[in-house]
Every structure is written in C-alpha cells, then in structure tokens.
Amino acid sequence: MNLVIDEGNTLVKTAVFQNDRLLDKQSFNKKEFSEKFQIIRKNFPEIANSVISSVASQNSDLIAEVRKRYSLLEFDQNVRLPFTNKYATPETLGKDRIALVAAAVNSFPGKNVLIIDAGTCITYDIKTEREIYLGGAISPGMEMRFKSLHKFTANLPLVKPKQDVELIGNSTETSILSGIINGIRMELRGVIDVYDTEFEDLTVIFTGGDSQILSIPLKNSIFANSNFLLEGLNFILEFNRTQ
C-alpha cells in the first residue's frame, strides 16, 4: 500500500493507493500535516511505501516524519521516469507536468495522449504512442486572468468565476465572465482540435482544480479525471520500486 504526498505552497494533498486503486484522498493546510498523518497511519496500517512531491523547496520536517515510518521516494531530478523525455530544458520541467505524463503512460500505454491541467496555469502536455514526451504549452490560468484584469486596469472589478455564463455580457461583470470563461473554453477546444489533426487517435485528459468550472463537451476521446496527478505520482513510485 502506498501513500502519495503532493506538497504545494500552502496545501498538502495526500492519497492512499492499493496498487492502482485509490482508497483515500485528502487536502489540508501544511500546518495540519502531523495531525492528519497520524490519522492516515491509524486508518491504513498496511502502508509501506511513500512518495513526496513538492512545488517549493521540500519541507525537511515533513520528509523526516514520513521517512521514520515508510520507505520514501523523494521526487527529484534523479527519479527514473517511465517515458523518454524530449523536453529541451528538463531541469525546468514542473514535477506536476512530469507526474501527469507518467499517469498518461500508465493509463493509456501505446496511445497519443494530450493532458490538459487547468490550475494556477493551464498546461498542455503531449506524449506519443511510443511513450515519448515532446512538451506542450503553458497558458495563464483562470484565476490569474481575473486578477490581471483587475490589477492592470483602473476600473475593472475583481470578479468571482462561475460555471454558467452567457456569450454576450450585458454588464461589466458579465462581460468579464464571458471574456475569460468562454475565452478559455474556446482556447481549450481550439488547442484540442489542432492536436487532433497532428496526432492519430488522440486521447485527451482534462484535469485540475478549475476543470469543472471550465467544463467542455466531453467527446468519446476526452476524459475528465481529477485524480490524474496523484495517480501519476503513485505510478512513478511503483516504477522506481520495481527497477
């Protein structure tokens, strides 16, 4: 049984896996880690292995606490990957993007897969049917766009996003909502259409914290998966344990 830990700037996400099956998922503030960790240990005494990924400098106290209990894999540049990485600057490639590509290799081996992660940024990543990662694109995320309009203009308010928006805004607030929400949806559809012409039998994974608000029509080849990053980290852990 594996414990996956994804440490962000303020929040920690944890997941417990039995092989590929997700048994438990939580998200909480970093300050709560010790308390939550004890509960996880109590509820899942069969856990033997763990992986930690951090977007910031890794928390030595958190790592030490986990290492006392489990065999621990720290996600760094030395971790073996289940795909060939063709990114020109691999040292700058985000761990979240690496984990998402790993999840695509695990869930869709031998397939061309485009992974779209709608979070702080919107990232697009493509892996080929030969398990080669080519790269992708980074675009401003939804919250970033709302804040930018407010910060860099004199009179535009900071608007809260919502899922149901009209095409034609009839006020400043609804115009901003239409411009950002519908604009991103059109961006997503456009990017998918272009990749679809370049890669045969393309599978698209749509994930990330904003994926529900930015929901797009799901075709047979498009799948929504909110746990894709956690699944990727679990697969990286298993891949490194068996090599």
Model pLDDT, residue 11 = 87
Q: Give the annotated binding-site residues for substrate.
A: 87, 94-97, 172
Catalytic residue among 96, 196, 201, 210: 96
Model pLDDT, residue 160 = 95
Q: Give the annotated binding-site residues for ATP.
A: 6-13, 120
Model pLDDT, residue 242 = 76
Model pLDDT, residue 217 = 77
- CA nearest 225: which of 202, 204, 207? 207
Q: How many CA atoms lie within 13 A of 139 on its CB side?
A: 18
Q: Which domains does the chain have, with CATH numbers?
A: 1-74 (3.30.420.40), 80-243 (3.30.420.40)
Q: Which residues contact 66 (CB under 8 A, 6 or more apart)?
A: 3, 5, 37, 50, 52, 72
What is the DSSP code (8-state) at residue 180? I
61 catalytically annotated = no
Model pLDDT, residue 77 = 82
pTM score, whole prediction? 0.92
CA dihedral 75, 57, 92, 2 (to 10 degrees): 20
Model pLDDT, residue 57 = 60
Model pLDDT, residue 46 = 97
Our measurement of the distance from residue 82's CA atom to the centroid of its chain's CA atoms, rounded to an integer in Å, reads 17
- Taking CA atoms, 100 is separated from 55, 69, 150, 167, 225, in Å, by 14, 27, 32, 32, 11
Model pLDDT, residue 63 = 86
Running along the chain, 243 residues long, what does each successive block of 10 average in pLDDT? 90 94 94 94 97 76 89 91 96 94 98 96 97 98 96 95 94 97 96 96 95 84 93 97 76
